[in-house]
């Protein structure tokens, strides 16, 4: 698949721009193993890069213009480097162009002095399934430009560039997790991120050795109130931290919860309890992976789902059904992943049970009259890289 996309994106580039690209770079989507909504609370997350990638064929130009194309759209977006601003670009082109703008904004490049670019994108990261097709674009484009403009930035700096593009250019209020996972992923590893210090460490997953895989169950449900729900949860977390007198919920521990229960209203308390226990579950998952291996983390995944369902209230019936069905069909653990209100669940599964799980989930969805889910396995993979 990857080989094909590499060739396709080159051909698309040549067709659209009439020249040969300087190279092809790629960066993956990501799934979050555990640690949901903890990122904006200065907490911990444990995502991994997946084996679905966005490819960017990129070439330098003689002038100061940028053109961006994608197999996503028939249109080529074109703009002068010195005209880049969040107000003048909308739609998908905001992701790649936002990266260029962010490089200027963060002082990494002088946009008045660098050469223009032609960029063509191709991807097999599903869009809007909670697998961060947006960070995959940002990662591929940032990694490519870093090399072509000889900026010498490290992967963490490039992740910050992607986040700045997404937050300030596209206008999506997300944490740093997606970009860090896309840039720093490694084969058969997760990326443990402390969102306060932005320190990242690779954690060996050992899935290959234990003959395990991760099944993504994309419910295909997209709830209209997802962004409103996200804002509301963020506000609850901020209110909870303020009431408890801490800078962020990262500073609250499981031992503090009885006191929090006395101080907070029921809803705020349950929001806080999710974040506090989820942070602990991330730490416990890292520790368990190191000491006992992946077969021992199932209960932590299951507990994470219950916490999101009951305390944070961001699950939907389709996600709950996916998780319960996966658990009943032999998954070691399962949970919804991503922001919630739709999107995907993941299940940690012995490889030989994958098709049994897929059949079980399809059957359960049909029985409940839900639309057919899309299920596929993902393999924890390498982050951004140059392809050719
Ligand atoms: P996700 O969970 O997939 O990251 P987002 O809403 O954050 O969802 O980002 C999806 C958006 O990214 C799409 O609506 C589109 O604007 C852009 N996008 C994703 N993949 C591509 C692609 N291959 N080409 C162009 N734009 C893309
Ligand atoms: Mg995204």
Cα 275 to middle of ligand 1, angstroms: 27
pLDDT at 279: 98
pLDDT at 1: 53
Which of 20, 75, 24 shows the shortest CA–CA distance to 53? 24
Burial class (CB in 10 A: 0-12, 13-18, 19+), 239: middle
Domains of the chain by range and CATH? 2-204 (3.30.230.10), 212-378 (3.30.70.890)
Which of 19-28, 85-94, 220-229, 269-278 comes out lowest in average pLDDT?
A: 220-229
pTM, two decimals, is 0.95
Active site members? 178
Is the CB of residue 211 less than 8 Å from the CB of residue 161?
no
Average pLDDT over residues 325-354: 96
pLDDT at 227: 80
Average pLDDT over residues 341-363: 97
pLDDT at 130: 81
Mean pLDDT of the chain: 96
Cα–Cα distance for residue pair 32/27, rounded to 1 Å: 16
Ligand 1 pocket: which of 69, 75, 95 to mutate (most atoms within 8 A of CB): 95
- Tokens representing 344? 């995907």
Residues 355-368 have pLDDT tens digits of: 999 999 999 999 99
Q: What pLDDT band is residue 224 in, cutting at 50, 70 and 90? A: low
Return the residue whose CA atom lies nearest to atom 19 of ligand 1. 133
pLDDT at 222: 85
pLDDT at 72: 82
pLDDT at 383: 98
Average pLDDT over residues 91-120: 98
pLDDT at 174: 82
Name the 3-class secondary structure at 267. helix
Give the number of the ligand closest to the Cα of residue 27: 1
Q: Find out whether the beta carbon of 230 lies less than 6 Å from any atom of ligand 1.
A: no
pLDDT at 71: 85
The pLDDT of residue 328 is above 80: yes
Cα–Cα distance for residue pair 253/248, rounded to 1 Å: 11
Q: What pLDDT band is residue 128 in, cutting at 50, 70 and 90? A: confident
Return the residue whose CA atom lies nearest to atom 8 of ligand 1. 128
**Number of C-beta neighbours around residue 134 at 10 A:** 26
Cα 132 to middle of ligand 2, angstroms: 4
């Amino acid at each position: 698949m990857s080989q094909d996309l590499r060739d396709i994106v080159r051909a698309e580039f040549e067709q659209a721009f009439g020249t040969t690209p300087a190279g092809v770079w790629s960066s993956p989507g990501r799934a979050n193993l555990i640690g949901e909504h903890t990122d904006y609370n200065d907490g911990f997350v444990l995502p991994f890069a997946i084996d679905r990638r966005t490819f960017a064929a990129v070439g330098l130009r003689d002038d100061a213009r940028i053109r961006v194309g994608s197999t996503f759209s028939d249109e080529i977006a074109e703009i002068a480097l010195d005209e880049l601003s969040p107000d003048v670009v909308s739609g998908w082109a905001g992701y790649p162009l936002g990266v260029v703008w962010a490089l200027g904004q963060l002082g990494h490049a002088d946009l008045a002095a660098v050469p223009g670019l032609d960029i063509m994108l191709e991807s097999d990261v599903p869009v809007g399934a909670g697998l961060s097709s947006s960070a995959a674009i940002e990662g591929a484009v940032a990694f490519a430009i870093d090399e072509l403009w000889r900026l010498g930035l490290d992967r963490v700096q490039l992740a910050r560039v992607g986040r700045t593009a997404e937050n300030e250019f596209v206008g999506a209020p997300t944490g740093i997790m997606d970009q860090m996972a896309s840039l720093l992923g490694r084969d058969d590893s997760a990326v443990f991120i402390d969102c306060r210090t932005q320190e990242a460490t690779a954690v060996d997953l050992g899935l290959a050795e234990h003959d395990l895989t991760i099944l993504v169950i994309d419910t295909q449900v997209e709830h209209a109130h997802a962004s409103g729900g996200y804002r509301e949860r963020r506000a609850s977390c901020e209110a909870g931290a303020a009431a408890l007198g801490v800078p962020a919920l990262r500073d609250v521990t499981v031992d503090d919860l009885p006191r929090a229960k006395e101080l907070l209203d029921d809803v705020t308390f349950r929001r806080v309890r999710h974040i506090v226990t989820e942070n602990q579950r991330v730490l416990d998952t890292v520790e368990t992976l190191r000491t006992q291996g992946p077969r021992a983390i199932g209960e932590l995944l299951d507990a994470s789902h219950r916490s999101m369902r009951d305390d944070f209230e961001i699950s939907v019936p389709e996600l709950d059904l996916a998780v319960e069905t996966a658990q009943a069909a032999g998954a070691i653990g399962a949970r919804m992943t991503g922001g919630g209100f739709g999107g995907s669940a993941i299940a940690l599964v012995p490889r030989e049970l994958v098709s049994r799980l897929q059949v079980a989930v399809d059957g359960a969805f049909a029985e409940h009259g839900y639309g057919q889910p899309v299920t596929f396995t993902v393999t924890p993979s390498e982050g951004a890289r140059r392809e050719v």
